[in-house]
Structure 1
């Protein structure tokens, strides 16, 4: 009966999403957004920041006063369905610290070009605040609901990362409540070990109560050039050249539609055009009735071209289609009639989808779709695209270049780049984010497919070139494989030095999926036996 229900849900998933998921999710999201906006206008109290932090310190001290047998690892009280990771953290087994009030912007320092925020300030909230003052975050995620604290402790990458690296590289200071209740301001000079380990720690070293990070000045528009390339080696070479050029564009990315067909996008800040011919190129692509961005990009495969995009529309360009994931959920979603009638409800709300996910549905998505961002050296780009094509038969895929700095031996959790990948004369290697999202080709054709086996092969390739996956997505590695991929020497030293080992979950325990990966592997092996019979 359960299998029949799963088959039914799978067969009619699109109708259920359109008829139920979209309207209910829209209302659900509207309530959350209205509450957030009311708070921004009427409830924001940055002047109470110190008071809110003292309350958190007191909660931690009370936890520390419990008998050792009663002290569970601490975590924030943010509900798992509200974050943007694919997994569901086992917060019911941990000690939750009330931190939901930490959602205020604390100030902009224009001289230093930094902004100071509380951890639950969202990307969209920061964008609205900073844009009015002529700035944006140096690393600005495309998803408005992502929290800056979460990105600072995990991974934030954008199309400006080829100039500044990932988001944690733009952090000037972390404000952290330690396991004993002390508040420390962590900088590269005051606490160099803790500062270097905070990025990629996922909240397992302390409780983040504030973060100061870099901003950049902006203009009203992004002048976008679309460059079609009809050779796999061609777009690999051109992406490397553009990312490392002295006059590199401010924004750089590529969408690969087939192994040998891609569109490279080069964007720079621009004022509002005044000439009639240039004004005709303005494209408000964020409007709900407009084609999905990746489908719009596809129109430039043959002819190339350029246009002017309002900055906010550019930043949130992938929002309505969640890159191309929505195409697998609602195949007709980009049809002009669908956009005209129902486009205003798009996309399906991630928070609502997580809120309504059952364990059975979660396992189904775990084994039937892929949502991965994998960071690899650009020297491995061609091999990585080939592997995705062969293992998953999935296009389009996304390419974002990003610096990965060489911080030396035991300089952080990320694997140190190979010497041959370091850009000559620099202290970084040029890597790229490989975005693989959607349903593998065989599954789309109704064929059996071993998703976990394929992902583990991808992870083995990633480890071999000293790459790493973003940990918001499902990880298919065992603990030993995880610890071999990442450099946890400094992380472990810091855990002991600051008392985090007994106070916060271990990194692997924090990020591993709640689905039993090894059990699914066994099920996939049984599939081979069944097909053979």
Structure 2
């Protein structure tokens, strides 16, 4: 804890200097799972990348106290040692605790526990004027609630206290085949509403007439001939979605045991199914053997680094959107008819999910079973749409803007890790500017960027450099295949892809 206090004091001092000089600054965490363009100026940021330690775990209270840059795999590994587990574990190992609290982060347990921020008991935050504040449901509640989905625009998170649950060794996973979009949405809602002991519920649509709803239950059962063990973490294991697809054509559900950590990070290898497109891009056969050979490159930490370096996210439709549950099928049909992008990820979310997502206004539009003008207060279904959209830049922007308008019409809210194409006026029609600005004023956050400043589309700014090296980078990054190879090279080499390099001076 002494080391933590010293680090917080350094951060507090730097923030206070920025505040005194009225200098805007940004916060640097050291990693990201965002697909937005980012390039930080080293002279105008507060570096909190060293805050990556688990401070304590209390087995009696079932509570972990951690710093914000602790990633999910570290958190799970450390809590497992004491027979405990976070209730909501994001599917990519590198997603951090801090990102989960101030961003939007949910998983297949979110139908029960809500988004990740709902499992947080209290936080320590340095306000933009240098004050260190502790807040929770009972202390500074207005700030605590305001920090949810604030994307670091109300203060700098430095410590997080998380509720934990009892660990069990396996997840008993059942794959329920579905044969339509409407059928998938209905089964999701039925499973959520059913008085059952499911701990996890999500789904995958492989086409408009094929998919699975996947339920999971924590258990200490041991494998047997009728309950086989299935793993997803070894290089020779099949990717989760491919295995699930192989079961979608069956006429009855299939049940198997999965080690708990393999289940929690089941989408890491292949980044759901986005890794499949890397094989196509490099013209490599997409087979079980090639997936084994290239397994190192198919984990999300490597893939995100490569994507940022190459710029390939600029030609993919990448959105997660939480919809009022009755409107989710309409959006899935729209995606089917307009983009034909599959698979689609489906994840039910508790009804308080909207208040975790960037300070939105209530949705009063059309929802089945609700009067027009009345605020919707029911459960949500998240739909993940991720797939290639080869086109000109103008067509790419047009398609994304059309999608965003459909999202707005149906009362959906985007997870803001992806590029935002709304205009500022359109943005503030969805989000509550008056309430949000009042919070920023009250907690002295004017030297921090607003949510809009952080998420609005800035376009891609590539720094090629000068001389022969700059010329070669220009040539490489104008060729799709070479761009991909450059991204892989940068990912292998490591280093930072977010901080801009300082110009050399003589």
Which residue number in structure 1 is paired with residue 258 of structure 2? 309
Correspondences of 1:235-246 after superposition (within 5 Å): 235-246=184-195
Give the conservation status (yes or no) of the 8 Å contact 2:178–2:184: yes
How far is 1:292 from its partner? Answer: 1.5
CA distance in 2, matches of 1:500, 1:422: 40
Q: Structure 1's 470 and 422: CA in aligned 2 closer, same or farther, altered over 3 A?
A: farther
Q: In structure 1, the residue corresponding to 2:35 is in which secondary structure?
A: coil
Give the conservation status (yes or no) of the 8 Å contact 1:391–1:454: no
Which residue number in structure 2 is paired with residue 414 of structure 1? 360
CA distance in 1, matches of 2:415, 2:47: 27
Correspondences of 1:257-406 after superposition (within 5 Å): 257-273=206-222, 275-278=224-227, 281-303=228-250, 304-331=253-280, 332=284, 334-347=286-299, 349-354=302-307, 356-357=309-310, 362=311, 365-366=313-314, 368-405=315-352
Q: CA RMSD in A?
A: 2.7
**Structure 2, unaligned runs of 5 or more:** 371-375, 462-506
TM-score scaled to structure 2, two decimals? Answer: 0.83
TM-superposition CA deviations, 1:167-213 (whole Å, max 9, x none): 11222112111122111101122212211110111001111111112
Q: Structure 1's 465 and 222: CA in aligned 2 closer, same or farther, altered over 3 A?
A: same
Which piece of structure 1 moves more, 99-108 or 122-131?
99-108
Give the conservation status (yes or no) of the 8 Å contact 2:241–2:272: yes
CA distance in 1, matches of 2:169, 2:377: 31
Give the conservation status (yes or no) of the 8 Å contact 2:122–2:161: yes
Give the conservation status (yes or no) of the 8 Å contact 1:392–1:454: no
- Residue 485 (structure 2) pairs with residue 485 (structure 1): no
CA distance in 1, matches of 2:198, 2:8: 40
Q: In structure 1, the residue corresponding to 2:61 is in which secondary structure?
A: coil
TM-score scaled to structure 1, two decimals? Answer: 0.79
Q: Structure 1's 88 and 396: CA in aligned 2 closer, same or farther, altered over 3 A?
A: same
Matched length:
449
CA distance in 1, matches of 2:244, 2:381: 20
How far is 1:145 from its partner? Answer: 0.9
Correspondences of 1:225-236 after superposition (within 5 Å): 225-236=174-185
- Residue 467 (structure 2) pairs with residue 512 (structure 1): no
Give the conservation status (yes or no) of the 8 Å contact 1:375–1:434: yes
CA distance in 2, matches of 1:449, 1:64: 40
How far is 1:76 from its partner? Answer: 2.0
Q: In structure 2, the residue corresponding to 1:190 is in which secondary structure?
A: coil
Which piece of structure 1 moves more, 99-108 or 392-401?
99-108
Q: In structure 1, the residue corresponding to 2:350 is in which secondary structure?
A: strand
**Structure 1, unaligned runs of 5 or more:** 1-45, 518-533
Which residue number in structure 1 is paired with residue 399 of structure 2? 454
Q: Structure 1's 93 and 462: CA in aligned 2 closer, same or farther, altered over 3 A?
A: farther
Give the conservation status (yes or no) of the 8 Å contact 1:411–1:490: no
Give the conservation status (yes or no) of the 8 Å contact 1:139–1:166: yes
Which residue number in structure 1 is paired with residue 20 of structure 2? 65
CA distance in 2, matches of 1:449, 1:347: 31
Give the conservation status (yes or no) of the 8 Å contact 1:56–1:97: yes
CA distance in 1, matches of 2:120, 2:393: 45
CA distance in 1, matches of 2:369, 2:459: 37
Give the conservation status (yes or no) of the 8 Å contact 2:115–2:353: no
Give the conservation status (yes or no) of the 8 Å contact 2:307–2:313: no
- Residue 34 (structure 2) pairs with residue 85 (structure 1): yes
Q: Structure 1's 226 and 117: CA in aligned 2 closer, same or farther, altered over 3 A?
A: same
CA distance in 2, matches of 1:466, 1:275: 46
CA distance in 2, matches of 1:489, 1:339: 50
CA distance in 2, matches of 1:295, 1:411: 31
Q: Structure 1's 421 and 50: CA in aligned 2 closer, same or farther, altered over 3 A?
A: farther
- Residue 418 (structure 2) pairs with residue 473 (structure 1): yes
Give the conservation status (yes or no) of the 8 Å contact 2:353–2:380: no
CA distance in 2, matches of 1:439, 1:355: 16
Which piece of structure 1 moves more, 115-124 or 344-353?
344-353
CA distance in 2, matches of 1:208, 1:459: 30
